[in-house]
Chains A and B, each alone.
Chain A
Amino acid sequence: MTTQTINFVPTAQPPERKATMVDDFASPLIIRGRHDMCAGCGEPAAMRSTVEMIHELGYTNRAVSVFGIGCYTGFTPTMNIEVLQALHGRAPSLATGLKRVRPDSIVFTVQGDGDMVNEGLQEVIHAAARAENITCVLLNNGVFGETGGHMTATTVLGQRTKNTLEGRDAKAHGYPIRVANLLAEVDGCVYVARGATNTVGNVWHARNMLRRAFELQAAGAGFTFVEILTMCPTGWFIETGEAPEYLEDKLAPVHKIGVVKDSLAGNA
């Protein structure tokens, strides 16, 4: 019997090239270090995609983010990008004021479903109707993650939360709001898309949605909206590894992934 030694990492001589670290792949708009989200959270991939797209498009020195209040507010100190912090639900009106006085900037809001669809639904609808030249990004996981897993206006029927213990029941708790579809009906809103971060392919599609939205804003086309479905295994009370599939099986059939509206498609 012969034995074979395989040298995966040759140690006899110094390495020929510098070791590649995870951070080497990170966007220059992310300040190095770990994020403060739970394991399995879908928001970091969405946030990273957003700032990477700002960088790729060359909008870095024009970009201002307007943050709502939720788990994702924890990203604000971790990004090398200007931040205007809004109250819960109020990011679109702050973004409006800012964009109106700084029309050359690229302004995007980051809100969760609790923030945008519960607390501040009228803000985003009016911003769309005014054709504000801003991009609103919704991170939708169908649950109040930061408070520990409570029902939001986008929670799908049957979903268990801390205040819908037997699952959301239409009779008792009403129906989920599909805000992207709602906004698509609003004149002034030129682009609406819904992506997700549960698979590599979906992240790629979401990046392209963000690209389109930011490019349209830069062209002064009007209001653009990108919803991104994100995993929240903590707030869904499931194993981390089950979350991507849960998103596919429970959330995505209600909040359908894809481009909902692109008024200027073809004129790009």
Chain B
Amino acid sequence: MARELLEGSDAIARAMVSAGCRFFSGYPMTPFTEVLETMAKVLPGVGGTCMNAESEIEAVGMAWGAAAGGVRAATGSVGQGLSLMQESLSELSYARLPLVVLNMARGQGDYFQSTRGGGHGDYRHIVLAPSDVPEAARLAQLAFHLADVWRNPVTFLGDYYLAHVQEAVDTSPIDFGPVPAKDWALDGKSSGTAAAKVVSGIVVTKRDDPQPISYGQHLMNMAKRVQEIKAGVEPLYEAVSCEDAEVVVVAYGTPARFLRYVVKSLRDEGLRVGLFRPITLWPFPSAALAKAVRSARSLAVYELNSGQMVEDVALAARDKPVDFIGGVSFDEAGFGIAPALTAGELSRTVRSYMRGVTA
């Protein structure tokens, strides 16, 4: 399929359908609403279902049920709506359900919510954070692949810009390779066969199972599972002119796109600055970051929040100084354009940081 000019929300929705998503449920909330609108328009035409849920809690519940039926399913909201869903987002991880969850976030205040999870217990979602529309279209499809491969929810962390920027994008299906058969999915056919299936985060075996698993054992198994996923998922990142950089700027999502431009223009002026952009926020590309910053005197983390990812960067950078140069920046609406997000202002911020480091 050729590239077409699409708004980010449209591209994400169409890419999800290309990935085989056939069930979507959501509750309107800007800037997630536009994805919901496109899914409502597109899904019925391919035999899918888009549900206008009565709340975010029901949206995630419906998607949970559809995922349990073995269909590629997704839900989403913005961070505020995802706050409502947290109990489910935790529990369906324990039930090992492959679900894709969109967070079309307002600003970047949801880094902790996405990477740590706001729900109970020990669980993690794989988190993908694109910085432009073509990448968003690709990662929206990768999300379903990873969810199926790991039988674990995947969070797609977008933002207001990504939702509304128009770019030339190809949303045709991408083949990421085979995924395991969903022999655990429910359809009623195993009822009465003495091997009836259970999809549960609590009671995972029947009492006549030759190898019954207690709730406690299940929780311990899931804790091991988190480590397996962490070790098994390929961390994705982008490193721009880090090799001889004195300062490496670390940023993700839309701000990283601005900073890529800023770093390139500062390089043109002869400043030894690089950019490291994590694409998987969990698992965090720690080893790649440590390698990329070997020549750096220090790291500057830019996020549109009061400093969240900076903690992961500090853990990965080990003995290097890590400073936070970002901050909260909102328009009057509280979710739209960030006034701080201009090439000029970012350039001044990075330049002044570098003066301090190299002084």
Contact = CB atoms under 8 A, between A and B. Distances in A.
A and B pair up: yes
A259 to B, nearest CB: 27
A101 B196 contact: no
A73 B202 contact: yes
A115 to B, nearest CB: 13
Nearest to B72: A101
Nearest to A77: B207
A193 B65 CA distance: 26
Nearest to A134: B65
A61 B186 contact: no
A252 B53 CA distance: 34
Interface string B204-222: 0111100010000000000
Contact of A126 (B22, B58, B60): B58
A94 B61 contact: yes
Given A64-B188, A97-B64, A98-B186, A85 B201 contact: yes
Given A85-B202, A92-B61, 16 more contacts: A61-B193, A63-B192, A64-B191, A76-B203, A77-B203, A78-B207, A79-B196, A82-B190, A84-B65, A85-B198, A93-B58, A94-B61, A94-B65, A101-B49, A106-B188, A123-B61
Contacts of B197: 82-83
A60 B196 CA distance: 11
B68 A94 contact: yes
Interface string A91-134: 01111111111101110000000000000001100100000000
A126 B54 contact: yes
A97 B61 contact: yes
A124 to B, nearest CB: 11
A84 B203 contact: no
Given A96-B51, A101-B71, A122-B55, A80 B65 contact: no
Contacts of B192: 28-29, 55, 60-61, 63, 80-81
Interface string B51-86: 101110111111111111111010000000000000
B87 A98 contact: no
A13 B352 CA distance: 104
B65 A96 contact: yes
B187 interface: yes
A100 B186 CA distance: 12
A26 to B, nearest CB: 13
B200 interface: yes
A33 interface: yes
B54 to A, nearest CB: 4
A84 B23 CA distance: 18
B200 A85 contact: yes
Interface in A58-78: 59-64, 66, 73, 76-78
Interface of A: 28-29, 31-33, 54-55, 59-64, 66, 73, 76-87, 90, 92-102, 104-106, 122-123, 126
A60 B199 CA distance: 18
28 contacts: A29-B191, A31-B208, A61-B189, A61-B191, A63-B188, A76-B198, A77-B198, A77-B205, A80-B192, A80-B194, A82-B186, A82-B198, A83-B199, A84-B199, A86-B64, A87-B91, A90-B61, A92-B61, A93-B53, A94-B68, A96-B62, A97-B23, A98-B66, A101-B23, A101-B49, A104-B187, A105-B186, A122-B55
A76 B95 CA distance: 14
Nearest to B207: A77
Contacts of B9: none
Given A93-B62, A97-B65, A31 B207 contact: yes
Contacts of B69: 97-98, 101-102
A94 B201 contact: no
Of all A-B residue pairs in the complex, the 3 with the closest CB atoms, nearest first, are: A97-B65, A93-B61, A85-B200
B196 A80 contact: yes
Contacts of B193: 61, 80
A173 B287 CA distance: 58
Nearest to A96: B62
Nearest to B197: A82
A231 B206 CA distance: 26
A91 to B, nearest CB: 8
Interface string B19-61: 0001101000000000000000000000001010111011111
A28 B200 CA distance: 22
B205 A97 contact: no
Contacts of A96: 51, 58, 61-62, 65
B88 interface: yes
Contacts of A54: 191
A54 B192 CA distance: 10
A210 to B, nearest CB: 16
B176 to A, nearest CB: 22
Contacts of B57: 90, 93
B200 A84 contact: yes
A76 B200 contact: yes
Interface string B82-122: 00000110010001000000000000000000000000000
